[in-house]
């Protein structure tokens, strides 16, 4: 696929809603009606909200292959990257990475969800999670390539320990 054939599509999903810990155990997709930015064709598209690679390990390969949150127009066949929030969750290594579209940084309501140290402002949920408290401290990224680099980094840590 030629880079010229890939376009960014900003999906208007509210990123100002509080971080939702429900549903992060299982991989989760939602259906959205999207319009092709090239030809205007409207079609239903599945968008991933959460990738739990412990439950569905093939999702990691799809993420690395650029197949997650990709719009492919059925009419003109153009492809677009969908800029939508995405949580990557690895239960076996106990870490998660939360991607937000960069334009979220311009939204004061989005920024109010965080403490000054960059952590999510949620204390009651933290207590309920107990052993899974790592879920309340996702590594926050605003670039999908950074998400991929962080996942690769975390995957390599156990491999080099002596």
User: What is this structure's pTM?
Assistant: 0.79
Rg (CA), the chain: 17
| pLDDT of residue 40 exceeding 70 | yes
Q: What are the pLDDT digits (tens) for 64-78?
A: 999 999 999 999 999
Average pLDDT, the chain: 80
Cα 50 to Cα 6, 69, 155: the distances in Å are 23, 11, 18
């Amino acid at each position: 696929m030629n880079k010229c054939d890939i376009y960014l599509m900003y999906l208007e999903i509210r990123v100002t809603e509080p971080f939702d810990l429900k549903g992060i155990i299982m991989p989760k997709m939602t259906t959205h009606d999207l319009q092709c930015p090239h030809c205007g064709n409207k079609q239903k598209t599945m968008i991933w909200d959460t990738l739990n690679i412990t439950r569905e390990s093939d999702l990691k390969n799809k993420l690395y292959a650029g197949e997650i949150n990709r719009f492919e127009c059925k009419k003109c066949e153009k492809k677009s990257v969908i800029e939508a929030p995405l949580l990557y969750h690895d239960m076996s290594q106990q870490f998660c990475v939360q991607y937000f579209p960069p334009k979220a940084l311009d939204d004061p309501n989005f920024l109010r969800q965080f403490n000054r140290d960059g952590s999510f402002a949620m204390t009651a949920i933290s207590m309920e999670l107990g052993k899974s408290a790592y879920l309340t401290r996702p590594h926050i990224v605003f670039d999908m390539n950074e998400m991929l680099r962080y996942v690769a980094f975390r995957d390599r840590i156990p491999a080099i320990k002596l």
